């Protein structure tokens, strides 16, 4: 245990980072705002890094805190699940869910605690992959798949649609280079994800701009998740898809500089083999997913 920081400090950090507010973190943890402030200050001293930028009307995460936060959240989630398994007398049913890494991180995981609380007897295992799952050969029960809903031999239930639009850091919007009109993108770095290379060209066409803007040198990433993180870090402008960016927009980590949105031609579906689609654990998860679409994600 040598070298580990205070557990209370980590809890205070995770709650304050999630709410971007010491006041709301204090209310959640049932302590005073002063206690949260002291715990954060002690944690910063233990780590030797600054975690928050305290401004008059806002609380922002430093770059170090943004890198640290996912691991802290994952550790608390592991502790919660391990404790739940320890208290559970019967062996849990396992449900393996396959989806894209970006959708898992940005949309599914912030909501997953709700399913675990409602159905503690089902242990959800998330498998991320960019390829189409072969249910006959892979140990996957259900998948969230993007497309038009027509896959032979599979039951496909509509989950949600998405819009595609530019997003960037608030700091970039307030910077020295203009970013008020789509034409202002000529002054900024465009961030690309290899999984959706043509999206910028399609959006530029919809905005009435030359697609040559997308051919300029920019930043390229394998995953949309990495492209969005680069946008949060202020490295340029990325294209966001509604499920991937709604939580970051709500938390103020990303902003939408323009009104032009490109409707996607397809959408997300919950799919499973027809012969197993109505088994209790799959049906419960599918119906929960569809019901939770309208609920906001936790930032």
pLDDT digits (tens, 9 = 90+) for 112-122: 988 998 888 89
For residue 73, pLDDT beyond 70: yes
Nearest CA among 118, 100, 113 for reference residue 73:
113
Backbone angles phi, psi at 100, to 5 degrees: -70, 150
CATH architecture of 88-160+266-292: 3-Layer(aba) Sandwich (3.40)
The pTM (predicted TM-score) of the whole model is 0.54
Yes or no: say if 100 and 128 are a contact pair by the CB < 8 Å rule.
Answer: yes
Token couple for 47: 């780590």
Is the domain covering 163-263 a CATH 3.40.50.720 domain? no
C-alpha to C-alpha distance for 230 and 235, rounded to whole angstroms = 5
pLDDT digits (tens, 9 = 90+) for 238-283: 999 888 898 899 999 999 999 888 777 778 899 999 999 999 999 9
Which pLDDT does position 273 carry in this prediction?
93
Token couple for 81: 């699940």
Ordered by start, the domain boundaries in the chain are 7-75, 88-160+266-292, 163-263
| Common-topology check for domains 88-160+266-292 and 163-263 | yes
CATH architecture of 7-75: Orthogonal Bundle (1.10)
pLDDT digits (tens, 9 = 90+) for 153-178: 999 999 988 888 999 999 998 878 88
Which pLDDT does position 299 carry in this prediction?
45
Question: What DSSP line would sit under 87-114, residue for residue?
Answer: H--SPPEEEEEEE-HHHIIIIIHHHHHH
For residue 287, pLDDT beyond 90: yes
pLDDT digits (tens, 9 = 90+) for 180-238: 899 999 999 999 987 666 788 878 888 888 888 888 888 999 888 899 999 999 999 99
Q: Name residue 198's beta-bridge partners.
A: none
Q: Angle 63-87/109-118 helices, nearest 10 degrees?
A: 20
């Amino acid at each position: 245990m040598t070298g580990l920081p205070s557990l209370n400090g980590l809890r205070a950090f995770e709650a304050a980072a999630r709410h971007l507010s010491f006041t709301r973190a204090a209310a959640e943890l049932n302590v005073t705002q002063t206690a949260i402030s002291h715990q954060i200050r002690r944690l910063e001293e233990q780590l030797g890094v600054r975690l928050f930028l305290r401004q008059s009307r806002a609380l922002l995460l430093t770059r170090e805190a943004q890198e640290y936060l996912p691991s802290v959240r994952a550790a608390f989630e592991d502790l919660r699940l391990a404790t739940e398994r320890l208290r559970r007398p019967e062996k849990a049913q396992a449900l393996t869910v396959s989806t894209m890494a970006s959708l898992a991180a940005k949309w599914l995981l912030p909501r997953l605690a709700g399913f675990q609380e409602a159905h503690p007897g089902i242990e959800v295992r998330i498998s991320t992959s960019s390829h189409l799952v072969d249910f006959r050969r892979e140990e996957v029960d259900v998948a969230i798949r993007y497309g038009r809903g027509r896959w032979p031999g599979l039951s496909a239930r509509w989950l949600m649609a998405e819009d595609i639009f530019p997003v960037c850091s608030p700091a970039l919007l307030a910077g020295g280079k203009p970013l008020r009109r789509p034409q202002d993108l000529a002054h900024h770095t465009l961030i690309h994800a290899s999984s959706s290379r043509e999206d910028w060209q399609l959006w530029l066409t919809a905005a009435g701009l030359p697609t040559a803007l997308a051919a300029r040198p920019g930043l390229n990433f394998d995953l949309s998740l990495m492209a969005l993180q680069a946008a949060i870090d202020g490295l340029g402008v990325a294209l966001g898809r509604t499920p991937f960016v709604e939580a970051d927009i709500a938390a103020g980590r990303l902003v939408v500089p323009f009104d032009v949105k490109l409707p996607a031609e397809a959408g997300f579906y919950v799919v499973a083999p027809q012969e197993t689609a109505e088994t209790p654990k799959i049906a419960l998860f599918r119906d929960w997913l569809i019901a939770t679409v309208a609920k906001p994600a936790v930032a």
